[in-house]
């Protein structure tokens, strides 16, 4: 049975199952879903907990199978937690997970909790995941997209008895909050909790929110590529400034930008060779928000433009490693800025490009 993360509390109220699988790429929401399951389990006597992290191709699954079939001397019920950071349990793991899923039926003494990253469609159709879904409850954690972040912040504030002022000022406050945390839910969560400590329940002014979160934004280098592909030049510049101020490695920023350029070029070439766009994106492992961004920008980019961008990325690679390239800034961050804004300019909507020219 599959449920959304927002529905897990309601499902638990209907009765605790013996097998749960939580999968998704948003650490905060995954942690909260798992914490909710653990809290209900502890209240029902599951006081012992063992954690197994699957790492490498030679992981010993026999320990996990043994843990699921044995009880501690000190507890009547236990939680067996299996973390698979790669999302790939391997051949032995696939068999073991199917055995654990089948054994969970009618097992009132062991609760098995499996934690996974975001899974692609092919993985979710595999036998091991099908067994987890068939014999237990799977909780899919969806990321909060940037346009939905202000409302998410408002809901979290409301849960702790706080709210922003009404009308346009309140929307400006929420948008400011969302801009400062740049889509990082963990950072947003921490600042929301801070507001609960700083101010009583009730209405929050823009000045109160601004004072609490002004200097705490955490910039994510991989969110930068989303801003670039969305054609948001001002946001890109702000994020680059933030990444530089926080001491982010230039090579990591370059990797994020160049990887998008290479992927766009490969998808464009595949389409030119007759492959349907969905198939080309899938072959390059592009999905979710990135998939929608690629679908939007690919018609805006010519093969020649992508070739020039690829050459520019190669040149900037040398600059961030200390080389000098004619016609480019010698400073790595300045070169990264030029590369990012070049790609961003190509990805901007025709209307935005026209507006920029008029300015």
Residue 75 pLDDT > 60: no
What pLDDT does residue 358 have?
47
Task: Return the closest-CA partner of residue 115 out of 48, 32, 41, 179.
Answer: 32
Alpha helices in the chain (DSSP H): 8-13, 27-43, 61-68, 90-103, 121-124, 127-135, 149-159, 167-181, 185-198, 206-213, 221-229, 233-245, 250-272, 277-283, 288-297, 303-320, 332-347, 350-358
Question: Kind and range of the H or E element at 53?
Answer: strand 46-53
Question: For 87-139, how does the pLDDT look when each residue is reduced to its tens digit (9 = 90+)?
Answer: 888 889 999 999 999 988 877 888 999 999 988 888 888 999 999 999 999 99
Question: What average pLDDT does this structure show over 340-347?
Answer: 94
Distances in Å between the Cα of 229 and the Cα atoms of 7, 50, 260, 294, 300 are 32, 42, 9, 8, 11
Split at pLDDT 50, 70, 90, the class of 324 is very high
pLDDT band at 26 (very low <50, low <70, confident <90, very high): confident
Structure tokens at 88: 């790939």
3 bridge partner residues = 139
Whose tokens are 């000045």? That residue is: 207
pLDDT level of residue 357 (50, 70, 90 thresholds): very low
Sign of CA dihedral 318, 322, 326, 331: positive
8-state DSSP, 219 = -
The least confident of 210-219, 223-232, 244-253 is 210-219
Pairwise CA distance, residues 230 & 236, whole Å = 10
Instruction: Note the pLDDT of residue 214.
Output: 65
Q: 141 with 3: CB under 8 angstroms?
A: no
Q: Domains in the chain and their CATH numbers?
A: 2-140 (3.40.50.300), 146-213 (1.10.8.60), 221-358 (1.20.272.10)
Which of 177-181, 286-290, 336-340 is predicted least confidently?
286-290
Q: How many other C-beta atoms can be found within 10 angstroms of the C-beta atom of residue 51?
A: 12
User: 259-272: per-residue pLDDT in tens?
Assistant: 999 999 999 999 99
Sign of CA dihedral 89, 90, 92, 94: positive
Mean pLDDT of the chain: 87
Strands 162-164 and 137-140, by their bridges, are unpaired
- DSSP string for residues in 104-156: TTT-SSEEEEEEE----HHHHTSHHHHHHHHHSEEEE-----GGGHHHHHHHH
Q: What is the pLDDT of residues 204-223, one digit of tens each?
A: 999 888 877 764 545 677 78
List C-alpha distances in Å: 332 to 194, 311, 348. 36, 16, 24
Q: How far apart are CA 20 and CA 2, in angstroms?
A: 10
Whole-number pLDDT of residue 334: 95
């Amino acid at each position: 049975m599959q449920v959304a993360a927002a529905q897990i509390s309601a499902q638990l109220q209907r009765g605790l199952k013996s097998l749960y699988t939580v999968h998704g790429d948003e650490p905060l929401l995954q942690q909260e879903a798992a914490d909710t399951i653990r809290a209900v389990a502890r209240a029902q006597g599951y006081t012992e907990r063992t954690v197994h992290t699957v790492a490498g191709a030679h992981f010993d699954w026999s320990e996990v199978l043994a843990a699921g079939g044995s009880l501690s001397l000190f507890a009547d019920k236990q939680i067996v937690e299996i973390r698979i950071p790669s999302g790939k349990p391997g051949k032995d793991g696939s068999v073991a997970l199917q055995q654990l899923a089948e054994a969970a039926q009618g097992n009132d003494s062991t609760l098995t909790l499996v934690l996974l990253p975001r899974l692609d469609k092919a993985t979710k159709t595999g036998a091991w995941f099908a067994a987890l879904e068939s014999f237990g409850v799977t909780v899919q954690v969806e990321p909060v997209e940037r346009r939905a972040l202000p409302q998410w912040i408002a809901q979290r504030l409301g849960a702790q008895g706080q709210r922003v002022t009404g009308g346009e000022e309140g929307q400006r406050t929420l948008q400011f909050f969302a801009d400062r945390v740049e889509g990082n839910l963990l950072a947003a969560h921490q600042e929301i909790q801070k507001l609960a400590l700083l101010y009583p329940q009730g209405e929050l002014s823009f000045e109160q929110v601004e004072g609490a979160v002004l200097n705490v934004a955490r910039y994510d280098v991989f969110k930068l590529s989303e801003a670039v592909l969305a054609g948001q030049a001002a946001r890109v510049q702000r994020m680059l400034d933030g990444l530089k101020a926080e001491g982010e490695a230039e090579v990591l920023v370059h990797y994020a930008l160049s990887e998008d350029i290479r992927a766009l070029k490969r998808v464009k070439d595949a389409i030119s060779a007759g492959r349907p766009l969905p198939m080309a994106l899938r072959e390059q492992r592009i999905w979710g928000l990135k998939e929608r961004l690629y679908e939007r920008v690919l018609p805006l980019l010519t093969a020649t433009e992508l070739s020039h961008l690829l050459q520019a990325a190669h040149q900037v690679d040398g600059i961030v490693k200390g080389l000098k390239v004619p016609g480019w800034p010698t400073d790595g961050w300045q070169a990264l800025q030029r590369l990012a804004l070049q790609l961003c300019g190509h990805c901007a909507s025709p209307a935005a490009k026209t507006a920029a020219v008029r300015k």
